[in-house]
Copies of this chain bind each other. A is one copy, B any other.
């Protein structure tokens, strides 16, 4: 990786990306464990399901993006922990609901039985519902911005990202598209909602925890999230087409088997891979004017595109 691609030359004392990532992942794991209801508190089975769905899993891409955006604006880690946890709870709830029999009917997630398999379907439904509520409760009850009005804006950002014109809407379009061949533009439309909306929220919430960005900076950050949000999904499709179940920790080749349109089915593996490279370049370009403080965001664009899992 050439950091001057994105104008972010690393300070001599900066820790390597992998160490930074590990430290944020560890931090977010502890934050989630603390912010989720304790396992012994009634209703214990529901709380156990919420913790099972959220803890010890995933790459934590959204929390990493939230922390990286926080670094851009000098945000306090204590704020970022809460904002990132809220985003991750929305993500975790969406996975729980996606996996139930009436949706994707999947039994394996992050290498473990899915929540409705480990618990039961009703508990999975309620655990997802309660995780969504908890995300908004966290954004409201902790001090995350100097200005309470800006914090209300954070609630709005996450709610809109999760809702019918964001993640849930993208999921609906995904369901309805099964068995259809979508054009590239239609696939993008779907994924900007299904995956991109929450990735955008992760970045914007992280940025909202620190010094306010000016309009031009917001526009640049916007371009960055558009690129990585889409890249994330295209890479997912490529990995799903290529990888084995053991590597992914979830059922591989599922989308194509279910007749769901993917970027690979639309343009093939080679072009999909090329597309991710272009998106990565565009993400770097959008960050260039920020300089070194956008280093982690630039590294995450690389991580998202180059990951093997």
Partner-B contacts on A (CB < 8 A):
37, 41-43, 45-47, 50, 93-94, 97, 100-103, 120-123, 125-130, 132-134, 136-137, 139-141, 147-149, 151-153, 155-156, 158-160, 162-166, 168-169, 171-173, 175-176
A16 to chain B, nearest CB (A): 37
A164 to chain B, nearest CB (A): 4
A133 to B169, CA, bound (A): 11
CB-defined A-B contacts under 8 Å, sample of 24: A43-B176, A46-B169, A94-B129, A97-B125, A97-B126, A102-B121, A103-B125, A126-B168, A127-B164, A129-B129, A129-B162, A129-B168, A130-B169, A133-B160, A133-B162, A133-B163, A136-B158, A137-B160, A137-B163, A140-B159, A148-B148, A148-B152, A151-B152, A152-B152
A194 to chain B, nearest CB (A): 11
Q: Count copies of this chain in the complex.
A: 2
When A148-B149, A165-B37 are in contact, do A156 and B129 touch as well, CB less than 8 Å? no
Residues of B within 8 A of A166 (CB): 133
A156 to chain B, nearest CB (A): 4
When A125-B97, A140-B152, A172-B126 are in contact, do A37 and B159 touch as well, CB less than 8 Å? no
A165 to chain B, nearest CB (A): 7
A254 to chain B, nearest CB (A): 16
A100 to chain B, nearest CB (A): 7
B165 near A136: Cβ-Cβ < 8 Å: no
B125 near A164: Cβ-Cβ < 8 Å: no
A160 to B169, CA, bound (A): 25
B140 near A46: Cβ-Cβ < 8 Å: no
